[in-house]
Every structure is written in structure tokens, then in C-alpha cells.
Structure 1
């Protein structure tokens, strides 16, 4: 089981699970997949912070990751 720790930065999560970037794009986080963004913004950005900034429901994000085989750790 793949674990998605929502306290980790997006950069840390993507280093562990590169497929997270595609899922994030699918959810509407188009900016983070641009070259260089994961190494700059991704160092300090968490998924909950990004959800708040983009106005994307965190529960929807959690459900999407669960449907793709992730266990969510808050």
C-alpha cells in the first residue's frame, strides 16, 4: 500500500511517488507540473495548503488518491 502523508511537502511526496504529479494535474493543480515548480514551490507546499489556495475540496483529493491505491495519513 502506498501511503500519502499530507504533512510532507509536495516535493517529498513526488520523490517517493512520482505518479502523484499526474494525479495532481488531473485534480486541477496545473501550475505544479510546470518545469521547476516542484523544486521551488513544491519544497514548502503541502497538498492541504495547495487545496486551500486553489479552492479544491480536500476530501475530493483524498478520495481520488484512495481510488488510485493510496492510504491517506493526515
Structure 2
């Protein structure tokens, strides 16, 4: 699937497939994603849309950040 991000997958799965996503997410306000413990626990069931809702980060902002880095979003 190349540089496609499937928003139905867990953050853990996405970061395993695309490690550079960690930096993008951190820049967007998901600071705890850089913590391996959080990524390996909460990240296993958390999706990007769920995290965005919890952190009050607009999905449009997230999609734009991924688009600027060459990622396509699959919803």
C-alpha cells in the first residue's frame, strides 16, 4: 500500500509500518506517541481518529500534515 495510512488501524500498527509517522504525530500534539511504553500499550487499541478526538486535534489538520509528507489517507 506504499504511503497510505489506514485510519481504521491502531496507532501501533501504523507506526510499525511507517516509523516516520511518530515524528509527524508528535509535531501534531501527540507527544506521548514518542514514548515506546505508550505506543506499545495504548497504541495497540488507539486509532488516530480516537486520539484526535481525545486531544481535540481536528482531523483536517492531521490529514493535511500527512498529505504534506506524501501520505494518502484511507478512511
Where on the TM-score scale, by shorter chain, does this alignment land: which range? over 0.9
Structure 2, unpaired ranges of 5+:
none
- 1:1-74 equivalences under 5 Å are 1-74=2-75
Runs of 4+ aligned residues of structure 1 deviating over 2 Å after TM superposition are: none
Aligned partners of 1:9, 1:54: CA distance in 2, in Å? Answer: 16
Partner Cα distance (2:6, 2:52) in 1? 15
SS in 1 for 2:30: coil
Structure 2 SS opposite 1:60: helix
1:35 Cα shift? 2.9
**TM-score for the superposition, normalised by structure 2:** 0.95
Aligned residues: 74
- Gapped runs of 5+ residues in structure 1? none
Provide the TM-score with structure 1 as the length reference.
Answer: 0.96
